[in-house]
């Protein structure tokens, strides 16, 4: 993608037009690329964006739960606000949002980056999210309103407060569009009144309102394009987030009525299930409400031949099974156990690998049901493997 198209595409997605577009290009520039080709990399922008992101997240939560009437009162306790802030800004969340926006493919990569396939690393995507926010902070002259608008547009924080994931039209349409075309649907914003559309022809499907609706509150338009075979969808809102939500809801209802949209499943959430990213992929699924946060425990033991091994146990409170692995290192054991759990939640089974003398392999029959007692059964699982490993 050439630079001009990159700038145009990203600006439309995040709802912010840069005065200095070079800052946006810098946000996409990895350090290896800058070393090979000259110019500034995005690492300082990441640092700036990290701080700006947390301020924006706190402001969102304060607006959602707080009220100012001479004094400030809040319906959420400090502990809840802290946990929600951590959930909003944690790196797996940021990486997931970059995947949804499709921005990682625009990164300027060095030769080593390409060889190492760094686009598979969630940390690289999280860095990009922060760098974009940092670029907006600098370009806007630290305009807090502009920073918060961009963060809320990219982060879509309202999604974290849904009580039923089936109401998430944004994710349903995104997954369906990606399945159809190999890429996520594209959307863009326009800041304008609803009345400005009254006498302008629109070749697509537009959101409608009751006759007595308060049109004056609608300040933003959102336009969604899935592919050339489908109409452009247009929704409205008092904020960009509301406009986007209404637009995706409109698209979902239209596509469902036409019988062309499929119901996404947990399998559609993970594009490339693999062992190296399994732990992060599990956390991503947990963030989206499929199950509770995965828990890992580790024990160091010796095999019958005196080799040191690590026993890793992976579970979640509402999964009802334990997944464990025995490997020479803690890192490998964690990957193996996480991948077993990932295979189970996606496909209902765990692929077997050949058993070796030094690394006893657990089978599905060996894995007891947790029945809600994850810690006790994890201890039992470790004990079972320890008996096989000790001299």
Three-state DSSP class for residue 265: coil
Q: Write the DSSP symbol of residue 372.
A: T
Please give the Cα distance from 125 to 106 (Å, whole number).
11
Q: Max CA-CA distance within the chain? A: 83
| Catalytic position from the list 41, 46, 50, 336 | 50
Q: Cα separations (Å) of 68 from 65, 73, 239, 326, 328?
A: 11, 6, 21, 55, 57
Contact predicate 147/54, CB 8 Å: no
211 phi and psi angles, rounded to 5 deg:
-60, -40
- 379 is a catalytic site residue: no
Inter-residue contact 44 to 29 (CB < 8 Å) = no
Give which of 315, 318, 305 is closest to 381, Cα–Cα: 315
43 classed as catalytic = no
Catalytic, out of 127, 130, 139, 367: 130
Tokens, residue 106 = 């625009």
| Torsion angles phi and psi, residue 362, rounded to 5 | -75, 145
- Would you tell me the crossing angle of helices 43-65 and 78-89 to the nearest 10 degrees? 140
Q: At residue 169, what are phi and psi to the nearest 5 degrees?
A: -65, -35
Region of residue 117 (phi > 0: left; psi between -120 and 50: alpha; otherwise: beta): left
Could you list the active site residues?
Answer: 50, 130
């Amino acid at each position: 993608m050439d630079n001009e198209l990159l700038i145009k595409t990203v600006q439309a997605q995040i709802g912010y037009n840069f005065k200095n577009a070079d800052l946006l290009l810098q946000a996409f520039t990895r350090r290896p690329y800058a070393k090979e080709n000259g110019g500034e990399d995005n690492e300082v922008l990441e640092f700036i964006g990290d701080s700006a992101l947390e301020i924006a997240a706190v402001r969102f939560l304060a607006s959602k739960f707080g009220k100012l009437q001479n004094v400030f009162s809040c319906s959420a306790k400090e502990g809840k606000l802290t946990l929600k802030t951590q959930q909003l800004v944690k790196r797996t969340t940021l990486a997931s949002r970059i995947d949804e926006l499709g921005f990682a493919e625009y990164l300027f990569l060095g030769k080593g980056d390409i060889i190492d396939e760094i686009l598979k690393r969630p940390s690289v995507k999280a860095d990009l999210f922060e760098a974009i926010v940092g670029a907006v902070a600098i370009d806007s002259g630290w305009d807090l309103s502009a920073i918060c608008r961009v963060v809320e547009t990219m982060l879509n924080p309202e999604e974290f407060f849904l009580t039923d994931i089936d109401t998430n039209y944004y994710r349903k349409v995104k997954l369906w569009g990606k399945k159809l075309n190999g890429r996520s649907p594209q959307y863009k914003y326009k800041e304008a009144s609803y009345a400005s559309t009254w006498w302008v022809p629109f070749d697509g499907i537009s959101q409608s309102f009751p006759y007595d609706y308060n049109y004056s509150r609608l300040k933003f338009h959102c336009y969604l394009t899935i592919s050339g075979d489908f109409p452009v969808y247009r929704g409205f809102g008092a904020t960009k987030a509301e406009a986007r939500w209404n637009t995706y809801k409109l698209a979902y209802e239209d596509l469902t009525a036409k019988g062309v949209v499929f119901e996404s499943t947990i399998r559609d959430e993970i594009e490339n299930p693999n062992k190296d990213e399994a732990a992060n992929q599990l956390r991503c699924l947990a963030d989206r409400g499929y199950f509770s946060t995965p828990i890992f425990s580790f024990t160091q033991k010796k095999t019958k031949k005196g080799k040191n091994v690590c026993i890793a146990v992976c579970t979640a409170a509402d999964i009802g099974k334990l997944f464990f692995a025995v490997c020479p290192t803690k890192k490998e054991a964690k990957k193996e156990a996480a991948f077993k759990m990932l295979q189970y939640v996606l496909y209902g089974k765990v692929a077997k690998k050949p058993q070796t003398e030094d690394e006893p392999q657990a089978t599905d029959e060996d894995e007891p049901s947790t029945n809600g007692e994850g810690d006790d059964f994890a201890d039992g699982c470790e004990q079972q493997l320890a008996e096989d490993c000790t001299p």
